[in-house]
Structure 1
Amino acid sequence: MPKISTLLLFLISCTTGTFAQSGVIKGLLLDAANRAPVRSASVIIYLAKDSTKKEIKSTLTDAAGNFEISGLANNSFLIEVSSIGYQQLIRPVKVTGSLKNLGVLLFTKQRKDLSVVTIISTAPPVAQKGDTTQYSASQYKVNPDATTEDLIKKMPGITVDKDGTVTAHGEQVKKVTIDGKDFFGDDASAALKNLPSEVVDKIQVFDRLSDQAQLTGFDDGNSVKAINVVTKSGIKNGQFGRLYGGYGTDDRYAAGGNMSFFNDNRRISVVGNFNNINQQNFGSQDLLGVTTSGGGRSGGRGGNTDNFSVGQSPGISKTNAFGINYSNILAKKLTITGSYFFNNSHNTNESIVNTETFSNPKNLFSTQNTHAITNNNNHRINMRLEYKIDSSNSLFIIPNINFQNYSSGAVTNLQNFYGANDSLNSSINKNNATRQGYNIRNNIMFRHSFAKKGRTLSFGLNMNYAKNDGNSITDARYQFYNNGFITDSLQQQLYETNTNGHTIGGNIAYTEPIGKNGQLKIDYTPSVQKNNADQQTFSFDGQKYSNFDSSLSNRFYNTITTNNAGINYRLSKSKDEQLSFGANFQNAQLESQRVFPIVSSVNQFFSNILPNAMWRKKFSASSNIRLFYRASTNFPSVNQLQDVVNLSNPLRVSAGNPDLKQSYTHLLSARYTFINSKTSRSLFANVFLQTAGDYISNAIYIAQQDTVIQQGIKLRKGSQLIKPVNLNGYKSLRTFLTYSMPVKPLKTVINLNAGFTYARLPGLINYHSTITNNYVYNTGLVLASNISEYVDFNISYNASFNNASILSFTSSTNNYVNQTAGLQLNLLDKKGWFIKNDITGQSYTGLSAGLNQHFWLWNAAIGKKFLKKQAGELKLSVFDLLKQNQSIVRTVTGAYIEDAQSQVLQQYFMLTFTYSLRNFGVAAKSSNGDLRERDGMSAPGMRGRNPSF
């Protein structure tokens, strides 16, 4: 704490010097013809005596035409105002005091010869607007049928993985909006994959504050990396989309499409996706905690989840998905957005999982082969209502309802051994499971703004109810090897596991201006979370599962009560220079009660001070820096606390731990951004440092002989008991750097990236502490073409060097290298013929035996566009032309290293027909009959050029 206080005092002293310049220029920009506000006009300040016109400060006018530039010393300046379609306005200004109000400035539109429509692109490819990085879509050329996802792949600092995960400036994008409005809730992939690139005007990348933080203006640390897609003004009234259908060899098929109907503020979008070729245009949500990303390690999985796992699950999936999104502004005061989405997936997977668990006297190895079939159904309903009661009062209501049904059947062969001739046990396990659950959330917020600017009062109420019920039937045969003897064991059991819980929380926050540039926030947040978990186990009696086993059954209640109060101060001369700091005091009570089979309780009390600080400074028009620090706590889930033993797999037994404590985390991040709009060069650098006390991890106990772990429950020799525990010593460091510049002779943009990740992962094996130090070095480059819509290519290379150093009973190292090279080449001629190639080379070295791979995945297509305006397309495509497709994932933890190989699609051919609709309205005619540009869209015949909006 003393070090933190010293740092804050240092930052305050530095920033106070920065804010010593107190001159302010403000004004109102109106259209000279109709007195309408002119929004997003550029306002730049120069020194009057500087003939080079070096920019001192700049800003944009807001929606009402207002602008304000602060932090100016007393001097004579020139103010330059410009916007597309208007004559440039230059005016001398002399600053002699704290405020210079220019009043109303009238902006005159440019005259132009309407006999010829000339559209000139002046927008820079990338620019920094405050804390937002803005990309001009017109400066990046893609094929006419490209999606927004294809478009952003060409933008510096943004990458899209093969599984659809979008990373911007080193952070995963969690939220995508269209013109500031939600699109299918929090599903970041839905908009990018289903919105055509030709309707995009700008891409904005920023840190989106939480809803509560947006009310107060104070960053509460819950911000996420977000992308806002700004559409062209001409599509405010139009219809666009595409429909497709295809059939191929091996009965492969794909059908679906998307349609959008825009009528001013009312927007309706419909999307559908039906295929058996692993196409997933949406994030898959997992409420029940039943889906995995690769590995097959059972036991120790904690709690229900409510997250999106982007991309396709391992294996081969058949998907049926449908969704509709609606947004509108009603009565000028009520904005409403809502969506419904249904997703059904049928997945088949055959996997091999090799695991090395750190142990004494020697490490334990296991090989697991699984054939699994799963069915998963999701229903998602999202809604957001924003009601501006009047100029001082606003109301927000944000409900969300999710349903999930899941069933699975799997056959697993598992072998555990110390060496080739030192087997411990093996099993054949047949398991059938069903789960169903739902999650209902609602967040209500109200804000009142007082007459004094900066003085606000806001209230929030959030409610959440979740239910997760299911059962599983295990029919398994086990063999245990002991000094040449083999012991057989048969297990036939039914497990019924039901959990439910609800949370009620509130928030009240008051902000008060302090001086000219300061603001104080006082807030209080209470919350009560109640969870119930009930597991019942029944053995097979020869006809049905009716023998109740009380030793493997448990009923458990958990209540978490928190009271959090804090005070924060923000010093803000402008959006370009801000400093905020504060602290919250949190009191928490964790009550755990077991009511069956033996009554017991655990009550824990925690009191913590949670400091936070943020500093952001714009050094120039090209560069800025942001530092952020936050302390937080994380509570264990009810499944981690429930002390029931799960014997569904006697070789890997799991149990909860009611003595778990909350973890305490420190997070420090730094971000530097440099963007030169004139040269189109950019640099993004990020550093993330995290430490955690009482880190929640899994302890593993490997039985050296048959051991009774609980009354009536025996752990056989070689079997593992997995149990969550609190461990100290977790640390992680992640850095990311990307540099972008144009290669004009090639009409190409090059993106260079590099990164380093370090993780210190504590573990506990047989009551002995282990430490895994994992070092990952990343490097890569991307060459993205910017030639024309007829020639489109992306060349990429990425290498990841992973070095894991394990300090357990003995020291060992494990090195692993993953290299990926890619080429996407699309060629199109003016008659509509096209050729597409997507080639990916993958190389794995350093994995467990049999999983080192070197392969190429080559997908290719040839086709023809036809019909009016080339609205129709017929395409013949081949997947995996070389028949080499593979899928391998490595997982490193503090207790084990795991390699997993999953089933993948093999070669198939497909013929697909696509019909595209582009109806953006007909261009208006001038009095002399010539076609004019309307609503920012180009006149017919202008396709392929770079319009500016």
Structure 2
Amino acid sequence: MKSTFLFFLGILISNLALAQSNLNGRILDKADNTPLTNATIILLNQDSILKYHTRANENGNFEFKKINQEDYILIVSYPQFELYSQPVKLNKNTTLENILLSSQANLIEEVVVTGKIPIRIKGDTIEYDAGSFETEKNAKLEDLLRRLPGLTVSGDGAITAHGKSVSKVLIDGEEFFGYDPKIAIRNIRADAVDKVQVYERKSEQAELTGIDDGQRFQTVNVLLKEEARVGIFGNVEGHVGTEELYTANLFAAKFNRTERIGITANTNNMGASSGGREGSLRMNSQITGEPKNTSVGANYENQLFNKKVNVNANYNFNDASNRNERESYNKEIVSADKIQETNSTSNNENANQSHNIRSQFRWRIDSTSNMEVHVNANKSQNTGFSGSKSLMLNNETDSVRDYNSTNSNFGDDLSNEIRINYRKRLNKNGRSINLNLNNEISQSNQESDVFQRTYLYETNRETIVDQNRFTDNNRNNFSTQLQFSDRITQQLHFTLGYNFGYNNNTNKVDAFNNTATGRTLDEQYSQNLINKTSNQSVVANLNYNAEKFNFSLSNRTNYRDQSLNDSYHDIDLDRTFWDNDLNINGNYKISNRKNINASYQNNFDVPSFSQLQPTQPQTSPIFVQEGNPNLKRAVNNSFRLNYNTMSLLKGTSWNINSSIAFKNNPIVNKRTVTDTLTTSTYVNVMGKTSWNASLNTNYGKPIFDRKVQFNIFSGANYTNGFTYTRYSQDGSRDNQGQYELNNTQNASILTGFSFNEQDSKGLDYDFNWRVNANNQRNSLQQDLNYTNLSTGGSAFLKYFLPKQFNITTHINYSIEGPTKLYKESIQQFYTNVELSKKLLKNQSLVASIKAFDIFKTYNTTNRNVSDTQFSESTQLMLTRYVLFGLKWDFNKNLGKKSND
């Protein structure tokens, strides 16, 4: 590991030492030869890609030091002056003649110079010019996003923008394969992209209804070039490997001005079902279990009837199965002097087939009204088998019980949903009405054969459950919303609304005992549940929008009536709750590059009937779940503060995201633990407050003459929660001691850094390292409180060799320190390597050999800590294998101008 790091560092230093030229000059006012202080000077390469930029000093002088000896385009800009451009050919040291700029007031004719500005800030939106960031030939949108300052893309396709996770990727404002956005970023060509926009959007519900619910989602919107809106493109990829591995992928799309058609297909036995990225070196490449996957998808978008109707529809078929084996070791704090330990083994097999349809229709009825209709449907079938064995011990020595279980099941699910939203503008000043209707119907049927054997060592007693269980679950949920919006002033407007919802859910479980005399219904494991809920709410929203300051205040007052009936258990409940949801959000634009956002939310956790229902059907002889009909609401208060700043000239960015949330009278688990079984219910911790707080920041800037992007990040998180527990060795649930309140506190601090250079020349690399300190405290057994450290990092290197050969390697290392319960550290290290060769004149065919975990050092042990439970587990996993692959990219016209 040390030699690999030193080699990587040497490559980096030698790569940075290539820049040897200097360029300097002076910027003056043509009218009187006075210096133009802070004039902006930009150097573009011959492909108009930004390479360097700086500002003139108080004397109008500027200088670029140690830059590559290439041919450049120099662009100079200064407010209220002409935009200046000239080609520059560098020698070892180049001094330009004085550059004289004319004031726009003195210009007789308009002078237009086309120059690209890599990054712009437009209100709350950060916009990147895709052409200013170089990518290799046939690169995908995923590769382009990795090159944009402030954006990162993980190996599995997860995008982070300015410290926040991106939840949605749009293509020209529309979802493309909405059921899996990774399909878009892994198949849209980078050379077809014009702009990339990053912004926060409200929730879909808030956008439809106009009522701000306080939720914000980081969004990436990709704008295609005009010429890229017509063409055919796609790729075909296949791999075969050791251990009889295989994967094959197809993606094809046809774009017209208003119509987009896309298809995708995949089959493999490596565990991934879509996106065509099985075997990627950037992702966790371990194959868990023995998976098989086949999927087919299609996407259709079009604008019909003179662009009055917009259609966006997706279909996806998926057939997935897996077989896995697992071993686990669990420790649980059950009292101040008792720890239960469980050693378990399990094996399971499952298979699922599903058909999924998502469609959206937008109809512009006339200039004042429009309608949206969403129709979604899903149909699936599943089969499975699971078997498990476990042995429980008290305090590492005393055997408590053996538990064996097998379960075979078959089921099918069917659901459909329709949503209609109609909006009508009543006048030119913003007065409007909005009507929203939503209806969702679902049906699920399951059949299972269950066998469970429990042996108790203390009493030498054996209990057997041998049952056939039949489950029918039906849901019908309807809701409607009506809102009226109007403008008080040009900046201030309001919305008033009324919502009504009705849910009718039935869940019937018939569990029949298999006995020598036949089958009998066991009501302890059965239920015949009818759950009806009606909601009525009044909503109000006030928004203020000015040039620099935006403010929104929304409030929802809700009345809920819940009724529940279970004829098997003689349950007849009817409860009513008042609920109020208040959201305040403010955004202040300090300057074009600085922004601060603050929000506050107050709402309630209203108990569900799964928490209220006193008696619930038992699922195993060692666990009983009960409800508490006397539960009260829990009160939530949360605050969020975000600050971000970006310097377009320096290429720096700094983001701070902070939040704190309090929950008064929280609803928590309350467990009674005996050697026979565990009984769990819910209770309010009256007079107590659980809370969590987090603070995260990241700072990025280019270094080494702007060739390397450097980022440093840090964060802190704290949670404080409660649980109730009591323990008795006596199997009886009566005459037991008092409940003990356990207060769990977790605190963690994280810091790390990363640097990368990706210009598709010589060497691309991406290196990151992190250090994390974690502290956990339990009030019940304070001798188990601990502080441990973990650290780790990864390096991704891609060497661009002659004759279109590339070598890529991914190295990952981490170590997690010991705790009071686990005395040994867990180390993780693995290395993946790929050799690839681009073929054909247009480099559209790529042959590759990929080797994963080449030293066979991957550690399959996984450790988890949560509240009062500590567990380690291993499972069936393939880590070392080799893949041989071919990938062909095809492209007809897409992204090509007519004269190309």
Contact 2:120/2:126, CA 8 A, preserved across alignment = yes
Is 1:122 paired with 2:109? no
Out of 389, 411, 415, which is 1:413 matched to? 389
Deviation of the 1:436 alpha carbon: 2.6
Give me the whole-angstrom Cα distance separating, in 2, the residues matched to 1:533 and 1:724.
Answer: 21
Residues 607, 489 of structure 1: CA spacing in aligned structure 2 closer, same or farther, 3 A cutoff? closer
The amino acid that maps onto 1:580 is: S
Give me the whole-angstrom Cα distance separating, in 2, the residues matched to 1:196 and 1:798.
Answer: 32
Contact 2:445/2:472, CA 8 A, preserved across alignment = yes
Deviation of the 1:862 alpha carbon: 0.9
Contact 1:157/1:684, CA 8 A, preserved across alignment = no
Give me the whole-angstrom Cα distance separating, in 2, the residues matched to 1:676 and 1:743.
Answer: 14
Residue 405 (structure 2) aligns with = 429
Is 1:907 paired with 2:880? yes
Is 1:683 paired with 2:657? no
Residue 549 (structure 2) aligns with = 577
Give me the whole-angstrom Cα distance separating, in 1, the residues matched to 2:823 and 2:349.
Answer: 24
Residue 457 (structure 1) aligns with = 433
Residue 896 (structure 1) aligns with = 869
- Unaligned runs of 5+ residues in structure 2 are 1-33, 41-77, 86-100, 278-283, 727-738
- Unaligned runs of 5+ residues in structure 1 are 1-48, 56-76, 93-106, 112-119, 285-309, 704-716, 926-931, 933-938, 940-949
Residue 26 (structure 1) aligns with = none
The amino acid that maps onto 1:868 is: K
Q: Deviations over 1:156-178 (max 9, x none)?
A: 44444455443334433322211
Counterparts of 1:219-258 in structure 2, within 5 Å, are 219-258=212-251
The amino acid that maps onto 2:382 is: Y
Out of 352, 360, 368, which is 1:392 matched to? 368
The amino acid that maps onto 2:357 is: I
Is 1:279 paired with 2:272? yes
Deviation of the 1:915 alpha carbon: 0.9
Counterparts of 1:230-379 in structure 2, within 5 Å, are 230-281=223-274, 315-330=289-304, 331-360=306-335, 361-379=337-355
- By relative contact order (CA 8 Å, sep 6+), the higher-ranking structure is 1
The amino acid that maps onto 1:370 is: S
Give me the whole-angstrom Cα distance separating, in 1, the residues matched to 2:138 and 2:623.
Answer: 50
Counterparts of 1:473-872 in structure 2, within 5 Å, are 473-482=449-458, 486-541=460-515, 546-574=519-547, 576-598=548-570, 600-635=571-606, 639-657=610-628, 660=631, 663-693=634-664, 695-703=666-674, 717-727=675-685, 729-745=689-705, 747-766=707-726, 767-789=739-761, 791-808=763-780, 812-829=784-801, 831-846=803-818, 849=822, 852-872=825-845
Give me the whole-angstrom Cα distance separating, in 1, the residues matched to 2:158 and 2:895.
Answer: 38
Q: Deviations over 1:346-405 (max 9, x none)?
A: 222222333222212312222222222222333221111111112211111112112333
Residue 116 (structure 1) aligns with = none
Tell me the secondary structure at the aligned position of residue 221 of structure 1: coil
Residues 696, 207 of structure 1: CA spacing in aligned structure 2 closer, same or farther, 3 A cutoff? farther
Give me the whole-angstrom Cα distance separating, in 2, the residues matched to 1:170 and 1:283.
Answer: 27
Residues 691, 437 of structure 1: CA spacing in aligned structure 2 closer, same or farther, 3 A cutoff? farther
Give me the whole-angstrom Cα distance separating, in 1, the residues matched to 2:666 and 2:286.
Answer: 30
The amino acid that maps onto 1:680 is: G
Give me the whole-angstrom Cα distance separating, in 1, the residues matched to 2:881 and 2:522.
Answer: 50
Out of 857, 868, 871, which is 1:884 matched to? 857
Deviation of the 1:895 alpha carbon: 4.0
The amino acid that maps onto 1:122 is: K
The amino acid that maps onto 1:722 is: S
Q: Deviations over 1:856-882 (max 9, x none)?
A: 221111121112311112111112111
Give me the whole-angstrom Cα distance separating, in 1, the residues matched to 2:169 and 2:515.
Answer: 54
Residue 26 (structure 2) aligns with = none
Give me the whole-angstrom Cα distance separating, in 1, the residues matched to 2:35 and 2:584.
Answer: 38
Residue 149 (structure 1) aligns with = 142
Give me the whole-angstrom Cα distance separating, in 2, the residues matched to 1:497 and 1:661.
Answer: 30
Residues 730, 550 of structure 1: CA spacing in aligned structure 2 closer, same or farther, 3 A cutoff? same
Deviation of the 1:266 alpha carbon: 0.8
Counterparts of 1:168-247 in structure 2, within 5 Å, are 168-185=161-178, 187-215=180-208, 219-247=212-240
Deviation of the 1:440 alpha carbon: 1.7
Contact 1:194/1:281, CA 8 A, preserved across alignment = no
Contact 1:327/1:336, CA 8 A, preserved across alignment = yes
Give me the whole-angstrom Cα distance separating, in 1, the residues matched to 2:334 and 2:500.
Answer: 44
Counterparts of 1:133-144 in structure 2, within 5 Å, are 133-144=126-137
Deviation of the 1:78 alpha carbon: 8.1
Residue 99 (structure 1) aligns with = none
Give me the whole-angstrom Cα distance separating, in 1, the residues matched to 2:596 and 2:740.
Answer: 43
Residue 71 (structure 1) aligns with = none
Which deviates more, 792-801 or 630-639? 630-639
Give me the whole-angstrom Cα distance separating, in 1, the residues matched to 2:842 and 2:148.
Answer: 28
Contact 2:508/2:527, CA 8 A, preserved across alignment = yes
The amino acid that maps onto 2:816 is: Y
Contact 2:82/2:111, CA 8 A, preserved across alignment = no
Deviation of the 1:740 alpha carbon: 0.7
Tell me the secondary structure at the aligned position of residue 191 of structure 2: helix
Residues 695, 327 of structure 1: CA spacing in aligned structure 2 closer, same or farther, 3 A cutoff? farther
Give me the whole-angstrom Cα distance separating, in 2, the residues matched to 1:158 and 1:695.
Answer: 37
Residue 892 (structure 2) aligns with = 919
Deviation of the 1:792 alpha carbon: 2.0
Tell me the secondary structure at the aligned position of residue 453 of structure 1: coil
Residues 313, 234 of structure 1: CA spacing in aligned structure 2 closer, same or farther, 3 A cutoff? same
The amino acid that maps onto 1:732 is: N
Q: TM-score, normalised by structure 2?
A: 0.81
Deviation of the 1:786 alpha carbon: 3.0
CA RMSD of aligned residues (A): 3.4
Q: TM-score, normalised by structure 1?
A: 0.77
Tell me the secondary structure at the aligned position of residue 363 of structure 1: strand
Residues 267, 923 of structure 1: CA spacing in aligned structure 2 closer, same or farther, 3 A cutoff? closer
Contact 1:157/1:738, CA 8 A, preserved across alignment = no
Contact 2:209/2:436, CA 8 A, preserved across alignment = no
Give me the whole-angstrom Cα distance separating, in 2, the residues matched to 1:566 and 1:785.
Answer: 50
Contact 2:332/2:340, CA 8 A, preserved across alignment = yes
Tell me the secondary structure at the aligned position of residue 207 of structure 2: helix
Tell me the secondary structure at the aligned position of residue 808 of structure 1: coil
The amino acid that maps onto 2:262 is: S
Give me the whole-angstrom Cα distance separating, in 2, the residues matched to 1:157 and 1:902.
Answer: 37
Q: Deviations over 1:668-704 (max 9, x none)?
A: 211111011111100111112222345444332201x
Deviation of the 1:51 alpha carbon: 7.1
The amino acid that maps onto 1:909 is: V
Tell me the secondary structure at the aligned position of residue 358 of structure 1: strand
Give me the whole-angstrom Cα distance separating, in 1, the residues matched to 2:469 and 2:664.
Answer: 34
Give me the whole-angstrom Cα distance separating, in 1, the residues matched to 2:163 and 2:800.
Answer: 33
Contact 2:286/2:877, CA 8 A, preserved across alignment = no
Contact 2:625/2:681, CA 8 A, preserved across alignment = yes
Deviation of the 1:83 alpha carbon: 14
**What percentage of residue pairs aligned between the two structures are identical?**
22
Residue 125 (structure 2) aligns with = 132
